[in-house]
Amino acid sequence: AVGDVVVLADSGATSVFVNGWQYLETGAVSSVTPVVGQEGTEVQLEGTALLGGGEHVVAVAVSGAAAVVNVENDTVVSISLGPQTQGLGDILITADTGALVRAIDSFTYLESGIIDTVNPTSGQLGTSIVLSGSRMRGGGTSIVSAELR
């Protein structure tokens, strides 16, 4: 809907700009995938008006921690999570217009994964390695790769 912009001074005087403002659809997140993870997890946010009438997402915070924006448009924002302590929290998307889109209690940070042991600790190409630790799947169901750097 289009509306007027009206400024009221303490003297009682008013200034009006007729049809100077257009109310846009309020942004909403309709799905978060996955809903649990830890630092490094890639999360896809789907919804409507995620850019808040603007052209870019300037920030995404998950449980108060900054995330890296990988893909952004009005219906999908893909992010990679930064470090944060475990727990349930909100996702907050900030657009270049200053518009905010919030998904309340929509993501649970898991405690970070830990590698306790690597066996053997040296080898050559083709050596099989056994890793032991905890929470290495980061909320997923399997490990898809491991690499030595």
Handedness of CA 148, 133, 144, 84 (dihedral sign): negative
Cβ contact 29:91 at 8 Å: yes
Cα–Cα distances in angstroms (integers) from residue 57 to residues 68, 111, 124, in the given order = 11, 27, 45
Q: Are strands 36-37 and 100-109 parallel, antiparallel or unpaired?
A: parallel
pLDDT tens for the chain, 149 residues long, are 899 999 999 999 999 999 999 889 999 999 999 999 999 999 999 999 999 999 999 999 999 999 999 999 999 999 999 998 899 999 999 999 999 999 999 999 998 889 999 999 999 999 999 999 999 998 888 999 988 88
